[in-house]
Protein backbone atom coordinates (compact mmCIF):
# COMPACT_ATOMS: atom_id res chain seq x y z
CA UNK A 1 0.00 0.00 0.00
CA UNK A 2 1.38 3.42 -0.88
CA UNK A 3 1.17 6.66 1.08
CA UNK A 4 -0.28 9.71 -0.68
CA UNK A 5 -0.51 13.09 1.06
CA UNK A 6 -0.90 16.66 -0.17
CA UNK A 7 -0.27 19.98 1.57
CA UNK A 8 -0.25 23.54 0.23
CA UNK A 9 2.24 26.30 1.02
CA UNK A 10 2.15 30.01 0.08
CA UNK A 11 5.53 29.89 -1.69
CA UNK A 12 6.83 29.15 -5.18
CA UNK A 13 7.70 25.61 -6.28
CA UNK A 14 11.33 26.72 -6.52
CA UNK A 15 11.34 27.86 -2.87
CA UNK A 16 9.88 24.55 -1.74
CA UNK A 17 12.33 22.60 -3.93
CA UNK A 18 15.22 24.45 -2.27
CA UNK A 19 13.83 23.70 1.20
CA UNK A 20 13.67 19.98 0.37
CA UNK A 21 17.15 19.78 -1.19
CA UNK A 22 19.36 22.23 0.75
CA UNK A 23 20.75 20.88 4.01
CA UNK A 24 20.95 24.26 5.77
CA UNK A 25 17.37 25.19 4.89
CA UNK A 26 16.05 21.71 5.76
CA UNK A 27 17.85 21.74 9.13
CA UNK A 28 16.63 25.27 9.85
CA UNK A 29 13.02 24.26 9.10
CA UNK A 30 13.06 21.01 11.08
CA UNK A 31 15.39 22.07 13.88
CA UNK A 32 17.41 18.85 13.44
CA UNK A 33 20.79 18.38 11.69
CA UNK A 34 20.76 17.31 8.05
CA UNK A 35 23.43 16.47 5.48
CA UNK A 36 22.40 16.60 1.86
CA UNK A 37 24.19 16.46 -1.46
CA UNK A 38 22.63 18.57 -4.20
CA UNK A 39 22.89 16.43 -7.34
CA UNK A 40 21.20 13.30 -8.62
CA UNK A 41 22.80 10.30 -6.97
CA UNK A 42 23.96 12.38 -4.00
CA UNK A 43 23.42 10.91 -0.53
CA UNK A 44 21.45 12.53 2.26
CA UNK A 45 21.09 11.99 6.00
CA UNK A 46 18.19 13.70 7.78
CA UNK A 47 16.94 14.13 11.33
CA UNK A 48 20.35 13.65 12.87
CA UNK A 49 20.91 10.41 10.94
CA UNK A 50 17.53 8.73 11.51
CA UNK A 51 16.66 8.86 7.79
CA UNK A 52 19.11 8.33 4.96
CA UNK A 53 19.14 7.74 1.24
CA UNK A 54 20.01 9.16 -2.18
CA UNK A 55 18.47 11.61 -4.59
CA UNK A 56 17.35 9.63 -7.64
CA UNK A 57 15.82 12.43 -9.69
CA UNK A 58 15.91 16.20 -9.17
CA UNK A 59 13.86 18.44 -11.47
CA UNK A 60 14.16 21.95 -9.99
CA UNK A 61 10.82 23.44 -9.05
CA UNK A 62 8.93 20.32 -10.18
CA UNK A 63 9.95 16.97 -8.70
CA UNK A 64 12.24 15.17 -6.28
CA UNK A 65 12.52 11.38 -6.19
CA UNK A 66 14.51 9.74 -3.42
CA UNK A 67 15.60 6.28 -2.34
CA UNK A 68 14.70 6.79 1.33
CA UNK A 69 15.10 4.60 4.42
CA UNK A 70 14.90 4.64 8.18
CA UNK A 71 18.19 3.59 9.72
CA UNK A 72 16.38 0.96 11.80
CA UNK A 73 15.13 -0.82 8.64
CA UNK A 74 16.71 -4.07 7.49
CA UNK A 75 19.97 -3.51 5.56
CA UNK A 76 19.26 -2.79 1.91
CA UNK A 77 15.57 -1.96 2.51
CA UNK A 78 14.60 1.28 0.76
CA UNK A 79 11.41 3.11 0.03
CA UNK A 80 10.78 5.36 -2.96
CA UNK A 81 9.63 8.85 -1.98
CA UNK A 82 8.36 11.21 -4.67
CA UNK A 83 7.72 14.90 -3.99
CA UNK A 84 5.79 16.56 -6.80
CA UNK A 85 5.57 20.38 -6.65
CA UNK A 86 2.36 21.58 -8.26
CA UNK A 87 1.91 25.37 -8.73
CA UNK A 88 -1.46 26.52 -7.34
CA UNK A 89 -2.15 30.24 -7.76
CA UNK A 90 0.50 32.14 -5.79
CA UNK A 91 1.56 29.00 -3.91
CA UNK A 92 2.48 25.36 -4.31
CA UNK A 93 0.86 22.06 -3.47
CA UNK A 94 3.42 19.52 -2.30
CA UNK A 95 2.29 16.04 -3.32
CA UNK A 96 4.01 13.21 -1.45
CA UNK A 97 3.91 9.61 -2.65
CA UNK A 98 5.83 6.88 -0.83
CA UNK A 99 6.04 3.25 -1.89
CA UNK A 100 7.89 0.08 -0.92
CA UNK A 101 8.43 0.56 2.80
CA UNK A 102 8.78 -2.43 5.18
CA UNK A 103 5.77 -4.53 6.06
CA UNK A 104 4.82 -5.37 9.62
CA UNK A 105 4.98 -3.41 12.84
CA UNK A 106 7.31 -0.49 13.46
CA UNK A 107 8.80 0.05 16.94
CA UNK A 108 6.09 2.65 17.70
CA UNK A 109 3.07 1.78 15.54
CA UNK A 110 1.15 -1.35 14.52
CA UNK A 111 2.49 -0.93 10.96
CA UNK A 112 5.16 0.94 9.02
CA UNK A 113 2.36 2.40 6.90
CA UNK A 114 0.78 4.02 9.96
CA UNK A 115 4.18 5.10 11.30
CA UNK A 116 5.19 6.85 8.09
CA UNK A 117 1.76 8.29 7.20
CA UNK A 118 1.42 9.77 10.70
CA UNK A 119 4.90 11.25 10.79
CA UNK A 120 5.13 13.05 7.42
CA UNK A 121 2.95 15.88 8.81
CA UNK A 122 4.80 15.87 12.15
CA UNK A 123 8.37 15.97 10.84
CA UNK A 124 8.01 17.59 7.41
CA UNK A 125 4.75 19.41 6.68
CA UNK A 126 4.15 21.14 10.02
CA UNK A 127 7.73 22.36 10.50
CA UNK A 128 7.86 23.50 6.86
CA UNK A 129 4.67 25.54 7.32
CA UNK A 130 6.08 27.29 10.42
CA UNK A 131 9.42 27.92 8.73
CA UNK A 132 7.89 29.31 5.54
CA UNK A 133 5.51 31.57 7.48
CA UNK A 134 8.41 33.17 9.39
pLDDT tens readout for residues 58-115 = 999 999 999 999 998 999 999 999 999 999 999 999 999 999 999 888 888 999 999 9
Task: Residue 3: name the closest of 99, 122, 121, 126 by CA.
Answer: 99
The alpha-carbon radius of gyration of the chain (Å, integer) is 14
pLDDT band at 126 (very low <50, low <70, confident <90, very high): very high
The confidence score (pLDDT) of residue 98 equals 97
Q: How remote is the C-alpha of 18 from its chain's centroid?
A: 12
Given a cut of 90, whether residue 12 has pLDDT beyond it is yes
Give residue 127's pLDDT.
97
What one-character DSSP code corresponds to residue 107?
S
pLDDT (0 to 100) of residue 91: 96
Give the homologous superfamily in CATH for domain 3-133. START domain (3.30.530.20)
- How far is the C-alpha of 78 from the C-alpha of 111, rounded, in Å? 16
Amino acid sequence: MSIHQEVSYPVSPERLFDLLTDEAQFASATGVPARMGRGEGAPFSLFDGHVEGRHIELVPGRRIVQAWRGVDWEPGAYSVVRFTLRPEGAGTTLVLDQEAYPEGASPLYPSWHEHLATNWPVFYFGPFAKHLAA
